[in-house]
Structure 1
Amino acid sequence: MLRHRRLMLALLLLAGCASPTAKPPPPRPAPLPPPPVEAPATPPTSEPGTISPVRPPTASGDMIFDAWAADFYGRAVKAGISPALLDREMAGLTPDPRVATRDSRQPEFSQPISVYIKAAVTEGPIATGQNDRTAVPALAAIEQRFGVPREILLAIWSRESAFGAIQGDFDVIRSMASLAAQGRRRDWAEGELIAALRIIASGEATRAQLKGSWAGAMGQTQFTPSSYLATAVDGDGDGRRDIWGSSADALASAASLLSKGGWTPGQGWAREVTVPADFDFSLSEGPKLTPQEWADKGVTRADGLPWSDADKAAPAQLLAPAGASGPVFLLLPNHFVIRKYNNSVAYALAVGLLADRIAGGGPLVKPWPAETPLSLADRMTAQRALAALGFTPGTPDGVVGMGTRTALRAWQKARGLTADGYLSPVMVDKLKTEAGVS
């Protein structure tokens, strides 16, 4: 029995020195009963039902990253990813420092909205989109198949990759692993990493092909791996879903995503409107009313044109993205479908406004005001001040999202201010003074 235990200990030590891709040594029969016991290829972990590699799958030198990678290995196996694939793709994996930097500087959430949209809706993309309306032969069939206007697809194509020219050169596996190890969006990033590994396992794309943005968005229309698996389609009839090399596949896949997201054919996405001087801006991002119900409150189309039959019955939400001094919109249901592509008000407005210009529409009636960028510190301080004053904005992360805007509108209304939810430098100073924070 003692000899048997020494033999097993030697086998386990050999297994512990093996590389992540090496096979464990073959079992050797014990000379005495009971029957021989094989050294386990993957020793049990402290959590029942999980599997860990014999040694950590990567040795990057970053203790947090390597600990995450070893822990993730078992979850990936439980999700159906083969150990052989994990061993191959995670061997030598290191965190990408560029990913963490860019994650904290997303322009849709950090730039003033006017700056973002002015950079998106320019004469270059408008002219290219107008040319491609007829120059891209697949668009007519895609529009008919999915009911999504070609102008919307062209605007997405422009925003995502400059019409296919700039797709990103980040390794999607490494980017998703970096985001997961970072921890802020771990569940989401691990899900996308597993989806990317499934794409490789399926043979639809190789690791070398899985190139994209720092956030793991791939191809000409920048699909996340999970979106690719769920909604990408073959648009050119060659039997493949090549969103990297085929514009037809990329555009059809974008149309498929929007269609599955609830796009209503024949309906608009939003309209610029005007409001009376005494309008209650606390209604912004609030109730969804029909255009006629909004008209009863003095809200009318800025271009003076009547509403289409398809838009008349649609529930619409009012939005003043740059505050009371900027353009105001009634958002139709299709606006929120665009936000399923990228959950950013700025992104959805940029896509819709660019699409309108590609279709031949004119510029906004009310121009964007000059906006002063706010530092991350100012945005976080304003959020902390709102919380201290009893208006909960959510986690003070510096992202001025729905929670922050709702809390700000409530505070503004309680203080007799224009309750437009717009965080300007003046509002930051008022909040800091009242809350006594800096």
Structure 2
Amino acid sequence: MDRRCFLVLLLAGCADPSANLVPTVSPLPPAPTPQQPAPVAPPTQSGDMTFDEWARDFYMRAVKAGLPPALLDRELAGLTPDPRVNSLDTRQPEFAKPFGDYIKGVVSEDRVAIAARRKPALAQTLDEIETRYGVPGDILMAIWAMETGFGAVMGDFDVVRSMATLAAQGRRRTFAEDQLMAALRIIGSGEFPRERLRGSWAGAMGQTQFIPTSFLATAVDGDGDGRRDVWGSAPDALASAANLLARGGWQRGQGWAREVILPSGFDYSLTEGPRETPDWWAQLGVRRADGLPWTTADLTAKAMLIAPTGAQGPCFLLFPNHFVIRKYNNATTYALGVGLLADRFGGMGPLVKAWPYESALSLGDRIVTQRALAQLGFDPGQPDGVVGVNTRTALRNWQKSRGLTADGYLSLDMVSRLKAEANIL
């Protein structure tokens, strides 16, 4: 054998057999991935995709807000939208009930008679409530009468289901979800089970109709049994209403409003305008309709003048307590109805000036009025058919500019005049 070949073979046989292998590199362990939240199973399978999608999203947000998953699992399981709630929430009245007709329906002789029968048994309770909160018993009795007929009609809707329905619908989602969260907290606290949380389709509960957030914030034990039972206890319901009004700024010893007589040629554009003392209004010829003097508390209060049915109907000076009542229900009709009903419960007679005859206005009448005002340069806001402060202010400004009585009252005659001027058929 060639000596050179032998040397090559010898070296090859002695070499490390791994010398010609590519070194093996161990792969790095995979980087840890962020912890993903476990998918939330739909809390309900109602068959309504919109409702079920909302329910899944609400569940996750409710957990983040601190509600126990076990509570949500129990209360949302099998939940379905209530078609009655959807129907009531979307129902748009074609005709607005005239103001005077509403008040005449509220201040009824039947309610006055029922209150006269119920007050003696509650006299001590009402006195104790007034001493503690400063709210007169007759105001509380009037709220009780208007809200549930003295506790006779409290509503039979499941508040949890109603609020879930409204929330999923979306039109009033924030309000409905706030109320649903509050209702679930009431249930979760053990204070009341879900079957007790019955109320109106809009979530108002008990004899004085508290929404769940108001219940949590202001409901109180009025009968001393350690519970806030606004459903089964009239003292609890009445004391809770008083606490709500007191927290809302009720002025102890001050009136709520008084009917007044205006002089001939009065400038009605001052209605819904300045808030001044009775003496300031007296300088303009405004006087109490009953001829009685103002109390010391009322003399120092600043009041707003309103003419809710125009120059032909009764007018009122509204004191701060009127606006506190509107924190219970933010409608002039409601607060005026409560006050007038309370006056009757307290022995006062009917108004000096009667409510005039009014024609009901259709939704179309109200919308076309708003369109006409806007077209003529008097901005009433969005033409939605709701005759609120903006619409009345625009109407007063138009009336004043045309030499009409600027009372801001929308009658069929005003509708016709506006349509004609704006050339709207």
Residue 290 of structure 1 is matched in structure 2 by: 277
- Equivalent position to 1:113, from 74, 89, 99: 99
- Tell me if the contact between 1:168 and 1:213 (Cα under 8 Å) persists in the aligned partners: yes
Calculate the aligned-residue CA RMSD, in Å. 2.3
Matched residue of 1:68: which SS? Answer: helix
**TM-score, normalisation: structure 1:** 0.85
Shift in CA distance, 238/194, structure 1 to aligned 2, threshold 3 Å = same
Partner Cα distance (2:92, 2:103) in 1: 14
- Tell me if the contact between 1:210 and 1:218 (Cα under 8 Å) persists in the aligned partners: yes
What is the CA deviation profile of residues 348-407 of structure 1, one whole-angstrom value per residue up to 9, with x for unaligned ones? 011000000000000000011111111222222222332333322233322222222222
Partner Cα distance (2:120, 2:92) in 1: 33
Residue 401 of structure 1 is matched in structure 2 by: 388
Residue 132 of structure 1 is matched in structure 2 by: 118
Matched residue of 2:417: which SS? Answer: helix
Shift in CA distance, 202/266, structure 1 to aligned 2, threshold 3 Å = same
Cα offset, 1:100, TM superposition: 3.5
Shift in CA distance, 63/406, structure 1 to aligned 2, threshold 3 Å = farther
What is the CA deviation profile of residues 407-437 of structure 1, one whole-angstrom value per residue up to 9, with x for unaligned ones? 2222222222221111222222222333344
Matched, 1:342 2:329: yes
Residue 42 of structure 1 is matched in structure 2 by: 38
Matched residue of 2:364: which SS? Answer: helix
Over the matched positions of the two proteins, sequence identity in percent amounts to 66
Shift in CA distance, 407/96, structure 1 to aligned 2, threshold 3 Å = farther
Aligned residue type for 1:243:
V
Residue 26 of structure 2 is matched in structure 1 by: none
Rg larger in structure: 2
Matched residue of 2:311: which SS? Answer: coil
What is the CA deviation profile of residues 200-254 of structure 1, one whole-angstrom value per residue up to 9, with x for unaligned ones? 1111111111111111100000001111011000001111100000111000000
Aligned residue type for 1:255:
A
Partner Cα distance (1:66, 1:423) in 2: 44
- Equivalent position to 1:93, from 63, 79, 104: 79
Residue 108 of structure 2 is matched in structure 1 by: 122
Matched residue of 2:75: which SS? Answer: helix
Residue 83 of structure 1 is matched in structure 2 by: 69
Q: Which is worse superposed, 138-147 or 248-257?
A: 138-147
Residue 397 of structure 2 is matched in structure 1 by: 410
- Tell me if the contact between 1:320 and 1:420 (Cα under 8 Å) persists in the aligned partners: yes
What is the CA deviation profile of residues 296-315 of structure 1, one whole-angstrom value per residue up to 9, with x for unaligned ones? 11111011111111101100
Residue 234 of structure 1 is matched in structure 2 by: 221
Shift in CA distance, 383/173, structure 1 to aligned 2, threshold 3 Å = farther
Partner Cα distance (2:239, 2:352) in 1: 33
What is the CA deviation profile of residues 10-66 of structure 1, one whole-angstrom value per residue up to 9, with x for unaligned ones? xxxxxxxxxxxxxxxxxxxxxxx88999996633xxxxxxxxx323x3333333333
- Tell me if the contact between 1:130 and 1:359 (Cα under 8 Å) persists in the aligned partners: no
Residue 58 of structure 2 is matched in structure 1 by: 72
Partner Cα distance (1:98, 1:389) in 2: 41
What is the CA deviation profile of residues 123-171 of structure 1, one whole-angstrom value per residue up to 9, with x for unaligned ones? 1111222233321142221111111100000000000111011100111
- Equivalent position to 1:150, from 128, 131, 137: 137
Matched residue of 2:280: which SS? Answer: helix
- Tell me if the contact between 1:357 and 1:363 (Cα under 8 Å) persists in the aligned partners: yes
How many residues of Structure 1 are paired with residues of Structure 2 in the alignment? 395
